[in-house]
Amino acid sequence: MTLKVGLVGWGAIGRVVGSALAGGAVEGAELVCVVDNRALGTAPAPQLTFEEALECCDLIVEAAGQGVVREWAERILRSGTDLLIASTGALTDEELKKRLLSAGPGRVYFTSGAVGGLDLLQAVCRLGPLHDVRLTTTKLPSTLEQPWMDEALLARLRTATGPVEVLSGTARDIPVKFPKSTNVAASVALAVGDLDAVRVRVVADPGAHRTRHVIEAAGPHGSYRFEAAHLPDPVNPATSQVVPYAVLRSLGAIAGRTGQIL
């Protein structure tokens, strides 16, 4: 059977995912609708409301931000429709995460986004807990500016000539402060099963022509280090260019494409 896919969001991620689906890039899956709060004239599938999408989709792909996850994810799952989440930062809300993981009959999936190694971290955690997990994310200063920042911090970002630490904390704290830039922190926490166990540093660097994520983890069974350096998306530099292709890889696995690494 062909998986009928609805796409929420027609931005930097959604356009790539939707165009690839419409072009037949994911065997066993087809794009049947797009949901967006803006009028779209160029989408390769009908623009529907959420309610209409629930009537015709087997799976909905969220590519529109954490707010959509908070508002609609539980309802999608309760309708019996599966959900693939890109904005994992919404899952820093423990109560929301518990509700989504227990909701149904729809199933919830999370894409790995801009980092690798999460499958291995999940496997290691079955052996025993990791006692030291760290993530350092480095991006261009302009992509990290936030409304909560005071003038002193904004001035540091705008006049930086080298790397500047913007904020540090746990995976529970950081994605809330940078809702469009640090979903990776929440993804690492999902992999290890503990938001507070993941220490996160956000670094601004005017020389960061590639967005860099470094994951370091250690436990009684071994030590691990994963590093990724991606070109920023040309439309939305707050996200990496690879993210929509991670979504497409996840869709291929859900649709049952053979040859996938699971």
Q: Is the separation of the CB atoms in 183 and 87 below 8 Å?
A: yes
Residue keyed to tokens 């994963």: 226
Q: Is the separation of the CB atoms in 109 and 134 below 8 Å?
A: no
The single residue of 209, 213, 221, 230 carrying the catalytic annotation is 213
Closest among 107, 4, 104, 109 to 56, alpha carbons compared = 4
- For the chain, the first-to-last Cα distance in angstroms comes to 21
What is the per-residue burial (b if ≥16 Cβ within 10 Å, else e) of 18-49?
bebbbeeebeebebbbbbbeeeeeebebebbe
Q: Is 213 a catalytic residue?
A: yes
- Rounded to whole angstroms, the Cα distance separating 106 from 103 reads 7
Q: Would you please indicate which residues are annotated as catalytic (active-site) residues? A: 213
